[in-house]
Amino acid sequence: MTPEFKKRGVTTIAVITDGAERAGEMAKRISAKTLRIGYNLSLKNARDWGLYISTSRVKTSIGIEEPDLFPEPGLFMVTPEQSLYYGSVQTMPFVRLYFSELIGALDFVIENAYPARGEYIREV
């Protein structure tokens, strides 16, 4: 759905902790023709982004060998000013976001100039 995001001024990248070879395999598996894929993200940086780290269960449900340690999925939208607009982290690889729903949310955000939420940082 990268072209749909691009129409809305959003650039996309998938970032993984795997190396270049596994990144290439993933790109082929998902037919990533326009999605950029970054690789070799350190587990420390993944944790700094708030991602949960899991241990291997040997193979995934689709037969892919898991690394010993890996981050669970997260999705982040960063503004042009480099601040976090939207963030979602998961503890499991199931029930991931539907990107078509995210496109609909983006349309609402753009049309209504909807501000980021969760911006309050003072004492409560």
Answer yes or no: is 85 within a domain. yes
* 78 phi, psi to nearest 5 deg: -115, 135
Q: Give the count of domains, the chain.
A: 1
Which range of residues forms the domain containing residue 44?
Answer: 2-112
pTM of the model: 0.83
CA-angle at 104, arms to 1 and 35, nearest 5°: 15
Element counts in the chain: helices (H) and strands (E): 4, 6
CA dist list (Å): 29 to 33, 55, 89: 11, 23, 23
For residue range 47-100, what is the model confidence (pLDDT) as tens digits? 999 999 999 888 777 677 888 999 999 999 999 889 899 999 999 877 778 899
CATH number at residue 79: 3.40.30.10
